[in-house]
Amino acid sequence: MIIVIRKDAGKDKLEKLQNWLKACGVTPHVSVGERQTIVGCIGDVSQIDEGRLSAMTDVVASIKRIQEPYKAVNRQFHPQDTVVEIPVKDGPPLKIGGGNFQVIAGPCSVESEEQVVAIARAVKAAGATLLRGGAFKPRTSPYAFQGLREKGLEILSIAKKETGLPIVSEIMDPRDLELFEDVDVLQIGARNMQNYELLKEVGSHSKKPVLLKRSFSGTIKELLMSAEYLLASGNPNVMLCERGIRTYETATRNTIDLTVVPLLHRKSHLPVIVDPSHATGVASLVQPLSMAATVIGADGLIVEVHNDPPHALCDGAQSLTPESFAETMKGIANVRPFACR
């Protein structure tokens, strides 16, 4: 961290600042130039409260960060890839990350036992290794279908029993954690990426793998800081998920920047999953995007599949049919050997 000093700041203020920095545990190095005085901070700057520092407007002109503010998720301090393991009944655990690639598939919403079991069987047959399904649904409108809630989780458990596929489902309320006992991967949705009370609850009361989605306007740094909340609270089993961001372009629902996949891999050791369904909102774009995400180095995909998209209770427009999902899985398998990692 570099601190640019105000031209009119006297020696005593500069000294006071240096003492404050030392108290925060870093070593300040002062360079006095003809036109500018600069303080370089060497040491662990993650404990410095940048907001507070920038408020010292009598001495601080501006601040330039050099090191990242995250630590537990930072590859610099943890060079090897994190491999998240998901237990599977009667078998070795599934692995994601560090060269292990998995496809999560299933309906947007859990609608009925019949539906979920049918889809689970179909996606398993096509090669998916985890089942997704929303029981608690965040919907923009209070009048839209809000999910089957507890009943939805029970149905997912049945599908898990029937197919052996571990399940991924979204948790929206810290009070619900107990209900998710049989859920294998806790999804934290885009709208809750900065719901810190939920992150702390999930981080401190569970060691289950967490799929953390990037919010609509979340920066890469903020996504990593939210993951840092989970790790700092005690749960190291975190997967990051890119699902498209909000931009001025309205031709697709979101704008997905696949470049973040290799970029996140450089900055962090956590696995990176791509969600091509929410990114585009259009079923026919899911296969091309899935293949591109695989090639660019994603550790996994999460894809919406519905046995009857036109009658899905939620997001049918972006759901693949089991047939087109099977086709997509073939495309993924074709390019997987050439993936960039």
Contact 283, 320 (CB under 8 A): yes
Site string for a copy of itself, 262-301 (x = CB under 8 A): xx---------------xx--xxx-xxx-xxx-xxx----
Contact 41, 58 (CB under 8 A): no
Run of H or E including 277: helix 276-280
Q: Which of 157, 255, 324, 327 binds a copy of itself (CB under 8 A)?
A: 255
Alpha-carbon distance of 286 to 309, in angstroms, equals: 14
Q: Which two tokens mark 102?
A: 């998995």
Tell me the site size for a copy of itself, rule CB under 8 A.
Answer: 105
Q: Which of 19, 66, 207, 323 binds a copy of itself (CB under 8 A)?
A: 66
**Residue 177 C-beta: closest distance to a copy of itself, Å:** 12
Alpha-carbon distance of 77 to 68, in angstroms, equals: 11
Question: What residues between 91 and 150 interact with a copy of itself by CB under 8 A?
Answer: 138-145
Q: Which of 9, 131, 312, 320 binds a copy of itself (CB under 8 A)?
A: 312
Alpha-carbon distance of 330 to 5, in angstroms, equals: 59
Contact 212, 227 (CB under 8 A): yes
User: How many CA atoms within 13 Å lie on the side-chain side of 207?
Assistant: 3
Q: Which of 120, 156, 260, 301 binds a copy of itself (CB under 8 A)?
A: 260
52 near a copy of itself (CB under 8 A) = yes
Alpha-carbon distance of 151 to 173, in angstroms, equals: 16
Q: Which of 124, 271, 315, 322 binds a copy of itself (CB under 8 A)?
A: 315
The smaller minimum CB distance to a copy of itself, of residues 165 and 283, is found at 283
Pairing verdict, β 2-5 and 37-43 = antiparallel
Q: Which two tokens mark 209?
A: 């793998």
Alpha-carbon distance of 21 to 172, in angstroms, equals: 39
The smaller minimum CB distance to a copy of itself, of residues 47 and 161, is found at 47
Identify which range of 95-103, 124-132, 155-163, 332-340 contacts a copy of itself by CB under 8 A.
Answer: 332-340
**Residue 241 C-beta: closest distance to a copy of itself, Å:** 16
Could you tell me which residues come within 8 angstroms of residue 243 by beta carbon, excluding any fewer than 6 positions away? 190, 213, 214, 254, 256, 274, 275, 278, 279
Identify which range of 30-38, 79-87, 99-107, 150-158 contacts a copy of itself by CB under 8 A.
Answer: 30-38
Site string for a copy of itself, 187-226 (x = CB under 8 A): ----xx-xxxx--x--------------xxx-xxxx--x-
Alpha-carbon distance of 248 to 288, in angstroms, equals: 23
The smaller minimum CB distance to a copy of itself, of residues 42 and 125, is found at 42
Identify which range of 82-90, 97-105, 154-162, 305-313 contacts a copy of itself by CB under 8 A.
Answer: 305-313
Question: What residues between 231 and 250 interact with a copy of itself by CB under 8 A?
Answer: 232-233, 245-250
